[in-house]
Amino acid sequence: MTSRGNAQTPHRHVIPFRASPDVLSSLRRAVRAELRPWGLAGLADETELVVTELATNVVKHVGMGSAATLVLELHAARIRVEIHDTSYKVPVPAEEGWPSECGRGLHLLSAMAHDWGILVTASGKAVWCELSVAADGACTRIQRANAVLGDYRELAGPAVAPLLSCPRAHEETAVSLIADLLHWLAAQGAVPDDVLDRAQRQYEAELDAAA
């Protein structure tokens, strides 16, 4: 699997790959790694299944080694999964002449997804689906923090770590944001240590309530 480009946002990740059975496990790991900082680890199994089915169809019906791209996007209460490939042939469920395996994959999308479809693009086609996100309290907080970190990266530019599929990069960006907030609090006359203590107590109380 080839490396991703650097132009990423907290809500969109693009993963180019070469279609083959060997790449499926790498795609599943990449999906799980991307969903975790979005607060969507609970949706990883479902998303991995969708990605596996769509990528397998590329292997079977476009060809081994063909260029393809996985796109993950977070839209409010849905996560959108797209697989782009270089074939212009559009599969249709239950259409005569299409392999049963392909129809099965599309019927799986229809059963699992909130919505799905196929788009013809300049270089081939994209099969997409949207999965509903269950918005519990912790998930909502993580998504809010993720959005704030995205805005913060744009404001800070190269002063903070780039967005990568790496916990260390996310951690360094969060530390930089917290440090800026502490400066802001001090400028307002607050005591940063007191605020940090209150935030820690609130966080632990919410964990206890969720247990």
Same-domain pairing of 108 and 60: yes
Same-domain pairing of 96 and 170: no
Same-domain pairing of 56 and 34: yes
Please count the other Cβ atoms lying within 10 Å of the Cβ belonging to residue 115.
13
CATH of the domain at 69: 3.30.565.10
Mean pLDDT by 10 residues, the chain (211 residues): 42 91 94 85 87 90 94 86 92 51 60 82 92 67 73 71 54 87 92 92 81 64
Residue 4, in any domain of the structure: no
Same-domain pairing of 148 and 123: no
What is the number of domains present in the chain? 2
Same-domain pairing of 47 and 104: yes
pLDDT tens digits, one per residue of 43-72: 888 899 899 989 998 998 899 999 999 999
Would you state the pLDDT for residue 7?
Answer: 40
Would you state the pLDDT for residue 167?
Answer: 54
Same-domain pairing of 39 and 114: yes
Same-domain pairing of 114 and 153: no
Same-domain pairing of 88 and 190: no
Residue 196, in any domain of the structure: yes
Residue 193, in any domain of the structure: yes
Residue 6, in any domain of the structure: no
Residue 3, in any domain of the structure: no
Last residue of a domain, one of 113, 132, 151: 132
Residue 5, in any domain of the structure: no
Same-domain pairing of 57 and 153: no
Same-domain pairing of 117 and 154: no
Same-domain pairing of 109 and 148: no
Would you state the pLDDT for residue 93?
Answer: 58
Would you state the pLDDT for residue 74?
Answer: 85
Task: Give the range of the structural domain holding residue 83, as residue numbers without chain letter.
Answer: 12-132
Same-domain pairing of 109 and 173: no
